[in-house]
Chains A and B, each alone.
Chain A
Amino acid sequence: MAPLQKRALYSFIVGLVLTIALAAVLVARGSVTALENDLSLRLILYAVLIGVPLIYLILMNLTLRKPTQFDERDRLIIERSSRAQWLAVIFTLVAWTITLTEIYRKQGQVPTIFLNLIFMSTLIIGTLAQSLGILVGYWEMNRNE
């Protein structure tokens, strides 16, 4: 397994765990808006929001720096996976926009906690989509070419 492929697999697993953890927290609290009154939970959320991109950046930099671990073939797969990531991010934002507009249309305002949730979900889905794109890219390259 190529180093980038391994990183993609780890990122995919971490992304899935984060998604499940976030969903579990929301279910346990009963409502999304309950987060607004819980400072400790918001702090954890902020830590995750800052921590996930930082860890991702560090891991990717460590991989991309070594020429024996990353070459033109991996670069090609990353470029292809970015298209999947872009589509996933756009569809996530579309889903949030339609859902929130329909739910809060009459109130004329959306609870601020949704800003965090929109960012969090976009980040997770973007990471998951890219990881999946990379894994599929390797699979396709091994299968077709």
Chain B
Amino acid sequence: MSRIENRIRRLRFDHNEMTQEELADRAGCTRQTVIALEQNRYVPSIELAFRVAKAFGVPLEEVFQYEDSQG
């Protein structure tokens, strides 16, 4: 089992309390997808993951972390 965690909510607040709508506009997705990402209900494509990281101006691994339960 593996899981991709993210720090989107934290990063939004660290970036001047960016709204979900703003992030969606910058990353080119819908607000509903941002909500789903924040609640870990959706794993994005690599392209969207890069766009989200770019919206925050940070490297990809600062936003998404791969957690492998098998160690």
Q: Kindly supply a per-residue 1/0 record for chain A positions 65-91, scoring 1 wherever the CB is within 8 Å of any chain B CB and 0 otherwise.
A: 001111111100000000000000000
From A67, A73, A145, give the contact of B32 (CB < 8 A). A73
> What does the 1/0 interface line of B39-55 toward A look like (CB < 8 Å)?
01111110110000000
Cross-interface CB contact of A142 among B41, B43, B47, B48, cutoff 8 Å:
B41
Given the known inter-chain contacts A72-B44, A72-B45, A72-B48, please indicate yes or no for A141 contacting B24, CB distance below 8 A.
no
The 8 A CB mask of A1-16 against B (1 = contact, 0 = none) is 1110000000000000
Q: What interface size band does chain B fall in?
A: 10 to 19
The answer to whether A73 touches B24, judged by C-beta atoms less than 8 angstroms apart, is: no
Instruction: Please report which residues of chain A, range 1-53, place their CB below 8 angstroms from some CB of chain B when the two chains form the complex.
Output: 1-3
Q: Are B25 and A71 in contact (CB under 8 A)?
A: no
Judge whether B36 is part of the interface by a CB distance below 8 angstroms.
Answer: yes
Tell me the chain B residues, 1-52 only, with Cβ under 8 Å from chain A.
24-25, 28-30, 32-33, 36, 40-45, 47-48
A68 touching B36 in the complex, CB below 8 Å, given contacts A73-B42, A142-B41? no
Q: List the B side residues contacting A1 at CB < 8 Å.
A: 32
Q: Which residues of A contact B36 (CB under 8 A)?
A: 73, 141-142, 145
A141 to B43, CA, bound (A): 11
B-side contacts of A141, CB under 8 Å: 36, 41-42
A67 to chain B, nearest CB (A): 5
Q: Which of B28, B33, B47 contacts A73 (CB 8 A)?
A: B33
Q: How far is the CB of A111 from chain B (nearest CB, A)?
A: 48
Chain A residues at the B interface, C-beta cutoff of 8 Å: 1-3, 67-74, 141-142, 145
Q: Which 6 A-B pairs have the closest CB atoms?
A: A71-B29, A2-B32, A145-B41, A73-B33, A71-B30, A67-B28
